[in-house]
Amino acid sequence: MTTVHDEPDSPVDVNDPRLSRFEIVKEGARRDEIEIVTYESQFHGHNSKAEKRVARNIALLFLIAGAGGFAFLGFYIWWPWRFELGTAMSDYYTPLLGISLAVALFGVGFGILAWAKKLLPHEVSIQQRHNDPSPGDEQLITGQTMAFVAEELGQGIQRRPLLKGAIAVGLAPIGLAAAAPLIGGLIENPHKADPPMMFSTGFNQKFNDGKPVRLTRDDGSPIRPEDVSTGGQMTVFPGIPGGATNEWADSPTLLIHLRPDDAEVTRQNADADRRNKDSMWGDYVAYSKICTHAGCPASLYEQQTNRLLCPCHQSQFMITKNAQPIFGPATRRLPMLPLGVDEEGFFVAKSDYKDTVGPDFWERP
């Protein structure tokens, strides 16, 4: 058998049977341009007392890992885990799983780390790195090859205008055809529905066969004025099928029964406004609950100061002043729902909101 020397300058012959395994490793490292500067045991002498102690500690860590693993299995299988009300054994199921699995994993982890750091020899190796770009003419050759390819294809097109036209007219549609289903399938026109979805809520009479929509609780029951005490408030929904569900996410409304003096101020301000004129009913006012900033329900009602606060970004609205924003990032007031009472004595919306409900957008009129 002939030996092929792919490393002619190799100072050692790796086939030499007198070489130790480490010397072969060193030669391999040399071929990878690595110099193993130090590789020495951390202990004085073979099988020293210190070494045995470290080995014992590592073994202990692995045993702890095993114990943790068994504990995890034990807890997983036998500990009561089904949810029970009140204080129960099952409350500790997840913590016990966590602790036992952590013990197992820490045992393995620290065992391995101790092995690597305390038992294995200390090593310092130096590997060369090359910061030069590709050697010699390689850059030039590859560059020219690419230029050649471009030229072959490019000139071909230059010389053959028919091809140019065919590529533009023939291949471009394929790209568009690939993109079309994705865009065409996803795209939704936000303005197509009647009534337009961006500008209507469940209080639109079109959703109730042209009749005024009642204000209802979340269980669908209608509300009489005396159901809301003075200074009180109630979240109401459109009285249409599913009106309290997320199908009508823009419709939740806050119905407030103001104190008489606050109501007077509110009415003056509302009547001075083109859109909110005649929207109150008695001392009652209803504002959209959907914040005009980011759409969270502006649901924190400060009775003393007559403010509504949105807990998401802290916009604050003045109830007595047409719910104008007085602090925070909101720019637009909360729309007021035109309130009325039908012949049976239940609250109805005389019409849909006159302002756009919900977060603001580009084409809002």
Partner 1 sequence: MKRRKVDLAQAPVTFARGVDERYKAATPLRGLLNKVFPDHWSFLLGEIALFSFVILLLTGVFLTLFFDPSMQETAYQGAYPALRGTEMSQAYASSLHISFEVRGGLFMRQMHHWAALLFMASIVVHMARIFFTGAFRKPREANWAIGVVLFLLGFLAGFTGYSLPDDGLSGTGLRIASAIMLSIPVAGTWISASIFGGEFPGHLIIGRFYIAHVLLIPGGLLALISVHLGLVFAQKHTQWPGPMRTNTNVVGERMFPRYALKQGGFFMAVFGTVALMAGLFQINPIWLFGPYRASEVSSASQPDWYVMFMDGLVRLMPNWQIYIGDYSIPPLFWPAVVGLGALTTVPMFYPWIEARRLKDKRIHNLLQRPRDNPERVGIGAMAFTFFLVATLSGGNDVIADKFHISLNAMTWAGRIGLLILPPLAYYVSVRICLGLQQHDREVLAHGVETGIIRRLPNGQFIEVHQPLGPVDDHGHPIPLEYGGWVVPKKMNRVGALAPAIKGFFFPVELPAEAPVSPAVPPLAGKPEREEITTGN
For residues 210 and 346, the answer to whether their CB atoms sit within 8 Å is no
**H-helix or E-strand containing 242?**
none
For residues 287 and 253, the answer to whether their CB atoms sit within 8 Å is yes
Beta bridge pairs of residue 341? 347
Scan residues 284-303 and list those touching partner 1 (CB under 8 A): 289-290, 293-297, 299-300
Closest CB 131 distance from partner 1, rounded Å: 4
Q: At what angle do helices 93-114 and 49-78 cross, to 10 degrees?
A: 160
Q: Which of 59, 60, 102, 172 binds partner 1 (CB under 8 A)?
A: 102
Nearer to partner 1, 108 or 265 (CB): 108
169 interacts with partner 1 by CB under 8 A: no
Closest CB 162 distance from partner 1, rounded Å: 39
245 interacts with partner 1 by CB under 8 A: yes
Q: Which of 204, 208, 215, 250 binds partner 1 (CB under 8 A)?
A: 250
Q: Please name the residues in contact with 126: beta carbons below 8 A apart, sequence gap of 6 or more.
A: 34, 35, 37
Scan residues 186-205 and list those touching partner 1 (CB under 8 A): 186-191, 197-198
265 interacts with partner 1 by CB under 8 A: no
Residue 274 sits at the vertex; the CA angle it makes with 268 and 278, to the nearest 5 degrees, is 55
Q: Which of 332, 341, 346, 349 binds partner 1 (CB under 8 A)?
A: 332
For residues 201 and 358, the answer to whether their CB atoms sit within 8 Å is no
DSSP code, position 89: G
For residues 353 and 322, the answer to whether their CB atoms sit within 8 Å is no
Q: Which of 36, 55, 71, 163 binds partner 1 (CB under 8 A)?
A: 36
Closest CB 197 distance from partner 1, rounded Å: 4
Considering only 168-176, 247-255, 258-266, 268-276, which stretch makes contact with partner 1 by CB under 8 A? 247-255
Task: Report residue 261 as tokens.
Answer: 């003096």
331 interacts with partner 1 by CB under 8 A: yes
Considering only 116-124, 137-145, 273-281, 343-351, which stretch makes contact with partner 1 by CB under 8 A? 116-124
